[in-house]
Amino acid sequence: MSKIEIREQALKLRKQGKSYSEIKGLLSVSKSTLSLWLRPYPLSKKQMRLLRDFSEIRIERFRQTMQLKKQSRLDQEYIKAKDEIFPLSKRELLIAGVALYWGEGSKNLPGALSVSNSDPKLIKFALYWFTHALGIPKKKVNARLHLYKDLHEKSEINFWSSQINLALKSFGKSYFKSSNRTDLTYKSFGHGTCNLYVSDTRIKERVLMSLKAIAGYYSAKA
């Protein structure tokens, strides 16, 4: 097809309400060339509106398709991860908990093992680690909530108790922050923070020395 014929085809497609991108895809012509050829032939308001509406629908369909593909990919990775990781041995559970404590645990609180977070799943894992890897009786584990002043203490204690499966009597008096959730400029979990702790100097020393051993071993290999 000659250049003149291509130009005539481009003009015909433009009069049909096609966008530059659509014409480019059909005729393999650059947008700069199309702009030069078709500048005298702008789309009508009706054609622009139809093109915009079609583009929005097409974009939304593309977004949904990509979202489904991503979810399918994540589902496959989740199944693969479960097959690769579980079941954890007691030693592996101990190491996983020590790594968690390195990031989320209190290192400076004397004589107490303490983990704080706003995610109930993380706190539930910490409780499982306390009882199954470290051998701490569940009745020795206590919790304290850090709440914003617009939260209701009893409701939040009931929430955390049910989420992590820890008795209500294990929760001490909550600490209230002076701010409200609505005062925050960043996204925050809506039930405050749960601090899980055990008063046991020997176990705290065991965890801290485990951290020191891991840090020393891998820093020497870096």
Q: Which of 108-112, 126-130, 192-196 has the lowest mean pLDDT?
A: 108-112
User: What per-residue confidence (pLDDT) applies to 155?
Assistant: 96
Q: Are strands 193-199 and 142-148 parallel, antiparallel or unpaired?
A: antiparallel
Task: Report in angstroms the alpha-carbon separations of 195 from 54, 120, 158.
Answer: 52, 11, 15
pLDDT, greater one: 10 or 195 = 195
Q: 8 or 49: which carries more pLDDT confidence?
A: 8
Domain ranges (residues) in the chain: 3-63, 90-219
Q: What's residue 31's pLDDT?
A: 81
> Cβ atoms within 10 A of the Cβ of 191, count?
19
Binned at pLDDT 50, 70 and 90, residue 193 comes out as very high
Average pLDDT over residues 96-114: 94
Predicted local distance difference test score (pLDDT) of residue 126: 98
Least confident of 84-93, 143-152, 187-196: 187-196
Beta strand extents in 111-152 (DSSP E only):
112-117, 142-148
pLDDT at residue 97 in the model: 97
Rounded to two decimals, the pTM is 0.72
Segment 103-128 shows an average pLDDT of: 95
The whole-number average pLDDT for the span 84-92 is: 96
- The overall average pLDDT reported for the chain is 88
The Cα angle at residue 75 between residues 74 and 79, in degrees rounded to 5: 115
Reduced to 3 states (helix: H, G, I; strand: E, B; else coil), residue 176 is: strand
- The vertex-183 CA angle with 177 and 186, nearest 5°, equals 100
Residue 90 has pLDDT above 70, yes or no: yes
The encoded tokens of residue 204 equal 């705290």
Q: Rounded CA gap, 182 and 197, in Å?
A: 29
Sequence-distant (≥ 6) Cβ neighbours of residue 195 within 8 angstroms:
114, 115, 116, 143, 144, 145, 146
Band of residue 56 on the pLDDT scale cut at 50, 70, 90: low
HSE toward the beta carbon, residue 66, CA cutoff 13 A: 6
* pLDDT for 178: 85
Q: Could you tell me the two tokens for 31?
A: 């947008």
pLDDT tens column, 146-157:
999 989 999 999
Q: Are 207 and 113 in contact (CB under 8 A)?
A: yes
- Beta bridge partners, 171, equal 143
> How many angstroms from the chain centroid is the CA of residue 27?
43
Helix axes 201-219, 90-104, angle to 10 degrees: 90
